[in-house]
Amino acid sequence: MQGAPPATAPGMPYGSPQPVPGPYQGAGSYGFQAQPMGFPGGFVPPPVQSQPTMDGTIWMPIPPSIPNCPPGLEYLTQIDQILIHQQLEVLEIVTGFEENNKYELKNALGQRVYFAAEDTDCMTRNCCGPSRPFTMRIIDNLGREVIRLHRPLRCSACCCPCCLQELEVQAPPGTTVGYVVQNWHVCLPKFTIQDEKRKDILKINGPCVVCRCCEDVHFEVMSLDETCPVGRISKQWTGIVREMFTDTDNFGISFPMDLDVKMKAVMLGACFLIDFMFFEHSGNKHQQAGVW
C-alpha cells in the first residue's frame, strides 16, 4: 500500500526486529558535520545510490538522519554485525613491499556500508611493519570521512607492560568517541574499550593466537566485570594458501542492535588494531605481528 512504512529497516534481513534507539539518544547536541577529505590510494567515492556501481558494488541505502547521532554513524544503528574484507594487493604479493591496507565493510546482506583505507607513508609501512603507527580513514557512500582511527607508535612486545598498544577512535574526525587500550597479560591478548572520557566500558578477551590454525579465531567482547558476553570479533580462516602467502584477512563483528553507536564504532577500531597486531604479516616473510 502506498505510503505504508517498510517491514524492516534498510539493510536488514526481512523479518528482522526494528533497531532499538541506542544510549546516544537524548544526549546533548554535538553541533558538528563530517567534512569531505582527500582519499589515500587513489580511491574515488562512488555515486550516491543503492544500485550496483560499474564494479558491481552495492551500497547500503542511506539511512535517515538521527538527532544527536554522529553524522555517518546512522548506518550502525540499523545493523548488528559487520563483515570486513581486506582487499588483495597484487603488487604487495609480487614485490613483498607493504602497501596501504584497504577494506570493504559490509552488512549481512553483502551491501557495502563503509570503505576503509590506511594512510601511511611507504617508509613507515616497510620499516615498522605490523607495529607501524597508522591513520585509518573510514568513509560512507556519500564520500564523507565519518570515522578516523589513529594508532600511535608503541612497543608491541608483551614484555613491555609500560608501553602497550592503543588506538583512538574519532567520529567525525576531530571528535574523540573512545579508545581501545591493550591490557598486559603474559600470554593472552586482552583489551579495554573506553569512552571519550577514558572511562572503561567493555573488555575484549582473545585466545592464544599463535596456537590457532585452520580455524576461525574469536575475540570475545564482554561486560566490564567479564561475566556477560556483549559481542564478538572473529578473524575468519581463509584457506592455507591465502593465509600463508598474503595478509588479506576477513573479519566479522557482532554486537547488540541497541548498543551505543559510538561503542560500535570503537569496536570497529578494535578489529583493525587486532588485525595489525596479530594477523598483518608480509606474504614473503610470513612474520606474525603479535608476540605472545
**Helix, strand counts (H, E) of the chain:** 4, 12
* Least confident span in 17-21, 79-83, 225-229: 17-21
Is residue 49 left, alpha or beta, with left meaning phi > 0 and alpha meaning psi from -120 to 50? beta
Write down the pLDDT at residue 123: 84
* Residue 277 phi, psi (nearest 5): -75, -35
* Residue 266 phi, psi (nearest 5): -70, -35
Domains and CATH numbers, the chain: 53-279 (2.40.160.200)
Q: What is the pLDDT of residues 95-129, one digit of tens each?
A: 556 678 899 999 999 999 999 999 988 888 778 87
- Per-residue pLDDT for 287 more than 50? no
What is the pTM for the complete model shown?
0.74
Residues paired with residue 115 on neighbouring β-strands, in sequence order: 104, 139
* Residue 270 phi, psi (nearest 5): -60, -35
Give the residue among 172, 129, 134, 177 at the shortest CA–CA distance from 153: 134
Cell 594512510 belongs to which residue?
Answer: 119
Give CA separation, 264 vs 34, 66, 162, 235, in Å: 18, 16, 27, 17
* Least confident span in 47-56, 58-67, 106-115, 150-159: 47-56
Task: Write out the H or E segment, with its range, that includes residue 242.
Answer: helix 240-245
Task: Write out the H or E segment, with its range, that includes residue 102.
Answer: strand 102-106
Split at pLDDT 50, 70, 90, the class of 35 is very low
3-class SS shares of the chain: helix, strand, coil, % to 5 = 20, 25, 55
Q: What is the pLDDT of residues 158-212, one digit of tens each?
A: 556 667 899 999 999 999 999 999 998 888 899 999 999 999 999 999 998 655 6
DSSP state of 143: S
- 41 against 119, higher pLDDT: 119
